[in-house]
Amino acid sequence: MAVPKRRTSTTRKNKRRTNKGLNGPALSRDPQTGEYHLSHRVNKDGYYKGQQVIEPKD
């Protein structure tokens, strides 16, 4: 049976576990266009929560 020669340090253990809790970005779907965008951000078309808040650039 394989047994480690030395104990794994807490620093090495924590470095290995750093990426465990990573998730993808939280995306929301716009009801008007059906496109996905980042949550709590204005869409490309200038819509936020179904209302147009800014004029889109042409």
Mean pLDDT by 10 residues, the chain (58 residues): 93 91 86 85 84 83
In a domain, 17, yes or no: no
Provide the residue range defining the domain that includes 43.
25-58
Report pLDDT for 2. 92
Q: Please return the burial class of 31, using the count of CB atoms within 10 Å of its CB with bins 0-12, 13-18 and 19+.
A: exposed
Q: How many domains does the chain fold into?
A: 1
Report pLDDT for 20. 85
In a domain, 4, yes or no: no
Report pLDDT for 9. 96
Q: What is the distance between the alpha carbons of residues 36 and 15, in angstroms, rounded to a whole number? A: 33
In a domain, 9, yes or no: no
Report pLDDT for 50. 79
Report pLDDT for 10. 95
DSSP label at residue 57: P
In a domain, 46, yes or no: yes
In a domain, 15, yes or no: no
pTM of the complete model beyond 0.85: no
In a domain, 11, yes or no: no
Cα dist from 21 to 17, 24, 25, 54, whole Å: 8, 10, 13, 35
